[in-house]
Chain A
Amino acid sequence: MKTGVSVFIAAFVALGASWCGFVLAPVLQLGGAKQTVVLQSTDNWPLQRIGEATLGLQVYRAYGCAACHSEQVRQTGAAFEVTLTSLGVQKPSDFVDFTKSLFVLPELADYTNAIATSLNGWKGGLPKTLLTCTDKDIATEMADRLKAVGVKSETGIIATGADIARGWGSRLSVAADYLYDQPVQLGSLRAGPDLANIGVRAPDANWQLQHLYAPKSVTPTSTMPSFKFLFEVRKIGATPSPDALNLPKEFAAADGYEIVPKPEAKQLAAYLLSLKANVPLYEAPFTPAAK
């Protein structure tokens, strides 16, 4: 073969270029990632998993949860939200009249109309979201005008997008969230809901265990397979096990028996509870709900 050397060089360059693109470049870009800091606080993010949650990641991986669940919240935009927190001395009805004169410029009429619509049928309940807009200057202007008449408001930043609307998270997932995941379980298919924030959405370990044992017992329409093999059916001894599941009648074990999670199930539940993406970061800002 006369062209052996050229073929070798061409193949080497082709493979080398993809290696540089897929391996070397990401390592150079994100390889040095460190813990970051939660916005407007001194708390570190993320925190290393401890105990059972660490082992749970491997259980999650072993049973292929990532085949049907993703761990990444997507965001398509961000907006500013002006929320009324106190009316001061004004009466709600006076305030509604006042909002009609907030923006008198014709090009801003849409905002005045939006506020009027949102105040339709408002009885004075606070806090009340007045305006959601993507223009920072409008939001600031609005807050200033409210302030000038002695009404208190807060301007918050909210993430927008389908995932956010579904309640799967408050912000997009960023590289820092996965700092301690080995391997990262991003997932690429959503037969089930996204789990990036499941530890906040379903913070009860018993709920998680019951859901693993019999998904339909908590979500009747669930298509998730039951993970019964992570549990043990035991004869109730002298005293019932404190870990035993408290199931509805049609899912419960026969009389005199109880269903107890094996260590793997507990680890998996601990891992699921550790999945949180609910703090604002520099790269993913939002205003957390007031506690």
Chain B
Amino acid sequence: MSDECPACSVPSAGEPSATRSAAPMWIIVVTLVLLFLGGIYFDRHSGWFDAKVYAPYNSTENLGAYQPQSGAAAELARGKKTYEAVCGICHGPDGLGKPGQAPPLAGSEWVVAKGVNRLAHIPLAGLAGPIQVAGKEWSLNMAAMGAALPDDSLAAVLTYIRSSWGNLAPPVTGDDIKKIRAAVGAGGQPATSEVLLKLPE
């Protein structure tokens, strides 16, 4: 071939060839730094994908706070709030009561009774004298703590204590409380254990 093309026969510097050489250290460092920053960004911006969570919400808990509450769940949440503000101080947030202050509500036969009549009398009229709760005798006075609460707030509280801490009794409605409140009347004497036991359930 070189005979026909003199120009091609000009000696060249030779074919370029690839060789192996070490990557510069700065490239390795920059790559690692970028990977690290990327990892931080990924984690901060909810990189853990959830098909149900979109910005501006950033987690299922955050999204849960914006779910409309209605029906039983909302009633319980409301009852819990009022309970903790009004009743929990003595009966405890866990419903276990406090020795020398208040009997337990968790596992109390008064709380989980079939009907709510006797139970609702206690916050509406108050309670005095000895009373048997869960196999122990208590003798403490309770003011009519529920008399000032609206019917449906008291109903929510009673619903809450009847279905929390292992208690499993049906919910209470505002109408139930309305009837019982009318029966109790205003400014009467605190109820006693004997009076309560004579009432229908």
Most chain A CB within 10 A, of B66, B67, B78, B150, is at: B66
Question: Is A284's CB under 8 angstroms from B54's CB?
Answer: yes
In B179-200, the 8 Å CB interface with A consists of: none
A5 to B152, CA, bound (A): 77
Question: Is B24 at the interface (CB under 8 A from chain A)?
Answer: no
Which chain A residues lie closer than 8 Å to B56 at the CB level? Answer: 75-78, 161, 172
| Nearest CB of A to B177, in Å | 15
Question: Is A39's CB under 8 angstroms from B68's CB?
Answer: yes
A18 to B150, CA, bound (A): 62
| Nearest CB of B to A156, in Å | 8
In B155-173, the 8 Å CB interface with A consists of: none
Which chain B residues lie closer than 8 Å to A30 at the CB level? Answer: 51
Determine which of B49, B65, B67 lies in contact with A282 in the assembled complex, contact meaning CB atoms within 8 Å. B67
Which chain B residues lie closer than 8 Å to A174 at the CB level? Answer: 54
In A22-55, the 8 Å CB interface with B consists of: 29-30, 33, 39-40
Question: Is B63's CB under 8 angstroms from A285's CB?
Answer: yes
Question: Is B70 at the interface (CB under 8 A from chain A)?
Answer: yes
Given that A78-B56, A78-B66, A157-B68 are contacting pairs, would A147 and B51 also be in contact in the complex, using a CB cutoff of 8 Å? no
Question: Is B51's CB under 8 angstroms from A29's CB?
Answer: yes
Determine which of B18, B70, B150 lies in contact with A2 in the assembled complex, contact meaning CB atoms within 8 Å. B18
A148 to B18, CA, bound (A): 84
| Nearest CB of A to B11, in Å | 23
| Nearest CB of A to B193, in Å | 32
> How many residues of A are counted as interface, with CB atoms below 8 angstroms from the partner's CB atoms?
30
Question: Is B66's CB under 8 angstroms from A285's CB?
Answer: yes
Which chain A residues lie closer than 8 Å to B53 at the CB level? Answer: 283
> Of all chain B residues, which has the CB nearest A149?
B150
A180 to B131, CA, bound (A): 65
Question: Is A175's CB under 8 angstroms from B68's CB?
Answer: no
Q: Interface of chain A, helix or strand or loop or mixed?
A: loop
Question: Is B52 at the interface (CB under 8 A from chain A)?
Answer: yes
Which chain B residues lie closer than 8 Å to A3 at the CB level? Answer: 18
A78 to B67, CA, bound (A): 11
Question: Is B66's CB under 8 angstroms from A157's CB?
Answer: yes
Question: Is B81 at the interface (CB under 8 A from chain A)?
Answer: yes
Determine which of A2, A140, A148, A175 lies in contact with B51 in the assembled complex, contact meaning CB atoms within 8 Å. A175
Which chain A residues lie closer than 8 Å to B67 at the CB level? Answer: 39, 282, 285
The 0/1 profile, CB within 8 Å of B marked 1, for residues 75-92 of chain A is 111100000000000000
> Of all chain B residues, which has the CB nearest A33?
B51
Question: Is B17 at the interface (CB under 8 A from chain A)?
Answer: yes
A147 to B65, CA, bound (A): 21
Question: Is A235 at the interface (CB under 8 A from chain B)?
Answer: no
| Nearest CB of B to A131, in Å | 16
Question: Is A100 at the interface (CB under 8 A from chain B)?
Answer: no
Question: Is B52's CB under 8 angstroms from A282's CB?
Answer: yes
Determine which of B54, B65, B70, B150 lies in contact with A40 in the assembled complex, contact meaning CB atoms within 8 Å. B70
For the complex of A and B, 7 pairs with smallest distance between CB atoms = A283-B52, A285-B66, A77-B56, A157-B66, A78-B66, A3-B18, A285-B67
Sample of 9 A–B contacts (CB below 8 Å): A33-B51, A76-B56, A157-B68, A161-B56, A282-B63, A283-B54, A285-B63, A285-B66, A285-B68
Residues of A participating in the B interface, judged by any CB pair closer than 8 Å: 1-3, 29-30, 33, 39-40, 75-78, 136, 140, 144, 147-148, 150, 156-157, 161, 172, 174-175, 280, 282-285, 287
